[in-house]
Chains A and B, each alone.
Chain A
Amino acid sequence: MWAAPSRWGWLNLLTPKGLFAHDTYNKLFTMHGIIMVFFFLVPSIPATLGNFLVPPMVGARDLAFPRINLLSWYIYIVGGIFAITAIVRGGVDTGWTFYAPFSSTYSNTHVILAAIGVFVSGFSSILTGLNFIVTVHKMRAPGMTWSRLPLFVWAHYATSLIQVLGTPVIAITIVLLGMERVLHAGIFDPALGGDPILFQHLFWFYSHPAVYIMILPGMGVISEIVACFSRKSIFGYGFVAFSSVAIAVLGFLVWGHHLFVAGQSMYASMVFSFISFLVAVPSAIKVFNWTATMYRGSVSYDTPMLYAFGFIGLFTIGGLTGLFLATMAVDVHVTDTYFVIAHFHYVMVGGMVMAYLGGVHFWFPKITGRLYPEGWAKFAALVVFVGFNLTFFPQFVLGYLGMPRRYAAYADEFQILNVMSTAGASILGVGYLIPMIYLAWAWRYGPKSPQNPWGAKGLEWEQSPTPPPTFNFDVPPVMNEPAYNYSGEEKEVEIGR
């Protein structure tokens, strides 16, 4: 539903002059960004699939702190109410990045309300992370060693580290921003003696790691799906598990790649550029290991696997273009253009949303106890893939040709590519609508699912009934084989206890 603003945005860009008043356009892309990043992508997989699956996957009856879990849901709602109030009362026009001093001094829109929304929802994210960390450390069933943890759980563990370490920083940044705006006292505004670059540093110190909050859980989903539908244990389990943690750690050291043209010292930029290249290594490890897992596996093409294929291809494009952007000289050319927009939509929409859909289809029988119509599902997956590429691929070209982001109008020569993009967005919209319809239908009327329709491995499939009872298991589970033991006797890696 909240994707709608983007669609209006594309509609706007159908004609060079734009359809909307320019400040309306600013508000549209801002609320699109805020809702999508802070209220959809960050909580998407952890708060739904993660909440549901982490406990049974480690063999626990529940998360360590069920009430805190509920609290995090209420906090999310309160944050959402603030954000929606900001929109209803006229919107915000700062972009999701809230750059000072525009946001603190000059913008006359509802910055404070939106900022409070982001601030509050952050605590929901923190509490989810905290709950997962404690659950993974303390609630594992007998035999569920670290080296037998599903990769979904490893990915969520790494995500949780980022949530817990990064989110407080955006919280305090927002507090400082709010104080500057309310008191009219300088901390970021250069006219008042402040330093606007400090805002950008603080903002990206959270928001770069946050992009990994928005991809790691998706990577976890893909690891599960790829192993299951290749009927093979995951290739290089230890590497895939540790690459999640490596991404979380390195992800904290690259935020400066968003400041290459902001007046950051060139030497700092060089270091940030270098570390940005490093962070691509663990991402690549995952992609290679997934493909190696499929190699000589008996691959079947069920819907979740189609989304996994989509993820692997699109994430690879998104990640590689990230490397273009991390190259300082190239970035000077393409920063603040549609190239950046295309880059992050490839990772966030092509990556995370694909993974989300894949995961929803994979665990739908587990969660609801029913099966969805496979034909429609495959069809929708195809529509999504086509629509996605038609929407976002032209934007790489547009950006490379120099079309800047965040403008309501553009030069005439860009029209053809923009029309393609808008058309793609419509197809993509249909692609998202179809699953919503048949999944809602299947939830009520779908045929009953057997306990383990995919023949998947893992405590949540093998030892927990479908759909699971309140405490997940009828009999306390024991893990007595390596993770992803699809081929019978697989050698086990040792990662601590």
Chain B
Amino acid sequence: MADSEVTALEHAPGLKHHFDDTEQQLESSTLGMWVFLLTEIMFFGGMFGGYTVYRNLYPDAFASSSRYMNIPIGAFNTAVLICSSLTMALAVRAAQLGNKKVLIWFLVFTLILGCVFLGLKVVEYHEKWVDHHIPGPGFRYEDARYFHQAQILFFLYFAMTGMHAMHMVVGAGLLTTLIIMAARNRFSAAWYTPVEMIGLYWHFVDIVWIFLFPLLYLIGRTK
């Protein structure tokens, strides 16, 4: 932090001395963030690949076990995340306009919505625990034919939603940092790159959920 404060006196706000100008720095950060999101797509892509393989191998078992997913919570959580994307976008807009108070409020809203999502996720996980649907030695399944195969769906369910939830936790931490930085007047209409970058991250995490919800909860139940 120290050196950026020193240079802040000499250069435009937030400009690091190995960049020519703010524009170059902003473009670099944005490109870097997109490349990072690309790696995230590949990361989740591995699991989506596995999911595709097993859904094709065991369609009946998957149809049977997706009936145990809690659709009301899942649907409500989907709405929560979509709203949080909106508040995040509004936060970025506020940062652009240099409106500190509005910025902080929208960041707080986003954070609260994120926490609501995570809280409901805990409720869902607890349900699975009670029903012995956590993969492993304690796993039980109502339909004995599908014991192993259903376990794979739950394995994927926990891997995918778990990874997603971990990204949400990280996102919540980042939002908290943003709120503190905003409160300390670190952002201005001339420099608010972190808000924009973390906004991109937040939208990405939301989009992952938009794919997870239908794949894990909705498809195949009516079979």
Residues of A within 8 A of B (CB): 60-62, 64-66, 68, 126, 129-131, 133-134, 137-139, 164-169, 171-173, 175-176, 179-180, 183-187, 192-195, 198, 201-202, 205, 471
Contact = CB atoms under 8 A, between A and B. Distances in A.
Contacts of A176: 46-47, 50, 159
B28 A134 contact: yes
10 contacts: A65-B32, A139-B28, A168-B43, A168-B46, A179-B159, A180-B155, A183-B155, A186-B155, A193-B58, A193-B149
A195 B159 CA distance: 16
Nearest to B35: A130
Interface in B23-41: 24, 27-28, 31-32, 35-36, 38-40
B49 interface: yes
Contacts of A171: 43, 46
A205 B44 CA distance: 14
Contacts of A185: 135-136, 139, 151, 154-155
Given A138-B24, A176-B159, A164 B40 contact: no
A184 B136 contact: yes
B42 A175 contact: no
B155 A187 contact: yes
Interface string B126-137: 000000001111
Nearest to A182: B136
A254 to B, nearest CB: 17
A169 B32 contact: no
A192 B42 contact: no
The 6 A-B pairs at the shortest CB distance, nearest first, are namely: A193-B148, A185-B135, A172-B46, A168-B43, A62-B18, A168-B42
Majority secondary structure of chain A interface residues (helix, strand, loop or mixed): helix
Contacts of B16: 66
Interface string B110-148: 000000000000000000000000111101000000001
Contacts of B43: 168-169, 171-172
Contacts of B9: none
Given A62-B18, A193-B149, A202-B49, A137 B31 contact: yes
B53 interface: yes
A131 to B, nearest CB: 8
Contacts, number: 112
Contacts of A133: 31, 35
B145 to A, nearest CB: 11
B59 interface: no
B42 A166 contact: yes
B57 interface: yes
Contact of B39 (A126, A173, A187): A126
A186 B18 contact: no
B103 interface: no
Given A138-B31, A184-B136, A179 B39 contact: no
Nearest to B150: A193
Contacts of A165: 38-39, 42
A414 B121 CA distance: 60
A282 B27 CA distance: 32
Contact of B28 (A61, A64, A187, A198): A64
Nearest to B31: A134
B35 A164 contact: yes
A169 B50 contact: no
* Interface hub of A138, A186, A192, A198 (most chain B Cβ within 10 A): A138
B152 interface: yes
B18 A164 contact: no
A165 B34 CA distance: 12
A56 B50 CA distance: 43
Given A165-B42, A168-B46, A187-B50, A179 B155 contact: yes
Contacts of B24: 138-139
A195 B28 contact: no
Given A138-B24, A138-B27, A130 B47 contact: no
Given A169-B46, A171-B43, A164 B27 contact: no
Nearest to A173: B46
A184 B19 CA distance: 51
A186 B148 contact: yes
B152 A60 contact: no
Contacts of A130: 32, 35-36, 39
A268 to B, nearest CB: 13
Contact of A169 (B36, B45, B154, B156): B45
Given A130-B39, A134-B35, A66 B159 contact: no
B183 interface: no
Contacts of A167: 39
A173 B19 CA distance: 37
A202 B44 CA distance: 12
B181 interface: no
Contacts of B158: 179
B2 to A, nearest CB: 13
A204 to B, nearest CB: 12
Contacts of A172: 43-47, 163
Contacts of A195: 53-54, 57
Contacts of A138: 24, 27-28, 31
Given A131-B32, A134-B28, A205-B46, 9 more contacts: A134-B31, A164-B39, A169-B45, A171-B43, A171-B46, A176-B47, A195-B53, A195-B57, A201-B49
A361 B49 CA distance: 44
Nearest to A65: B32
A169 B32 CA distance: 19
A42 to B, nearest CB: 15
Interface in B45-73: 45-47, 49-50, 53-54, 57-58
A292 to B, nearest CB: 35
B7 to A, nearest CB: 13
A192 B135 CA distance: 11
A373 B31 CA distance: 44
Given A169-B45, A193-B152, A471-B18, A184 B28 contact: no
